[in-house]
């Protein structure tokens, strides 16, 4: 398994391309759909699915362009549909960008749902807090976790100052992922990678 990290959009969101066995899975297509498509073409592998760890605009703005080009399913928690629906307005407010509304219809995800890329098996872990429908994607054999904006390197955690966010849920979600092996590499929604072991060492 090979993981390609693309920094996209004004907020430099990490979009991940998971490559294995001639297939690619897309995590958090935050913006620059054309750029993501070019990178997939460079890899010369077949994209089979796309998933967003949560519904914030900086994690989904590339969805429509990719769905139209590749005709692959897009997955998002049903609890974050309301964020997808207001992604256009949020982008215009936060980054002063004129964007098209996201019309792609996501397929729902739930805790334990499995995804396959080549021979690599992933499962969904529900990790709400930053948003009601926040999820992480975990591969036990590859020892990797894609966590969106749940946690970041050097002890930072996701914002909970939105009216729909919950610091209590965020704390519970962090405790949940800290049960994973220490050597698990954590790929966050922004910034550099970390590990479960390193997160445990941080004061937060």
pLDDT value at 111 more than 80? yes
pLDDT for 86 equals 83
pLDDT tens digits for range 1-39: 999 999 998 889 999 999 999 999 999 998 889 999 999
pLDDT tens digits for range 122-147: 999 999 999 999 999 999 999 999 99
Which tokens in the block code for residue 50? 């796309």
Contacts with 141 (C-beta within 8 Å, 6 or more apart), sequence order: 120, 121
Instruction: Record the pTM.
Output: 0.94
- Residue pair 53/148 in contact (Cβ under 8 Å)? The answer is yes
> Degrees (nearest 5) of the Cα angle 109, 39, 136?
25
Q: Kindly indicate the confidence band of residue 202, based on its pLDDT and cuts at 50, 70 and 90.
A: confident
pLDDT for 204 equals 58
CA distance 4 to 14: 10
Q: Kindly indicate the confidence band of residue 180, based on its pLDDT and cuts at 50, 70 and 90.
A: very high
């Amino acid at each position: 398994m090979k993981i390609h990290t693309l920094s996209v959009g004004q907020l430099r969101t990490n979009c991940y391309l998971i490559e294995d066995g001639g297939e690619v899975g897309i995590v958090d297509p935050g913006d620059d759909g054309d750029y993501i498509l070019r990178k997939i073409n460079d890899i010369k592998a077949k994209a089979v699915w796309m998933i967003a760890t949560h519904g914030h605009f900086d994690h989904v703005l590339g969805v429509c362009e990719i769905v139209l080009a590749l005709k692959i399913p897009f997955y998002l928690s049903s609890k974050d549909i309301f964020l997808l629906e207001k992604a256009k307005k949020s982008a215009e407010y936060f980054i002063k960008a004129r964007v098209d509304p996201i019309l792609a219809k996501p397929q729902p995800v739930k805790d334990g749902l499995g995804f396959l890329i080549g021979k690599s098996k992933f499962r969904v872990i529900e990790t709400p807090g930053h948003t009601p429908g926040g999820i992480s994607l975990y591969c036990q054999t590859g020892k990797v976790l894609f966590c969106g904006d749940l946690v970041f390197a050097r002890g930072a955690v996701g914002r909970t100052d939105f009216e729909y966010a919950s610091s209590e849920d965020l704390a519970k979600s962090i405790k949940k992922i800290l049960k994973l092996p220490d050597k698990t590499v954590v790929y966050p929604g922004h910034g550099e990678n970390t590990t479960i072991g390193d997160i445990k060492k941080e004061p937060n």
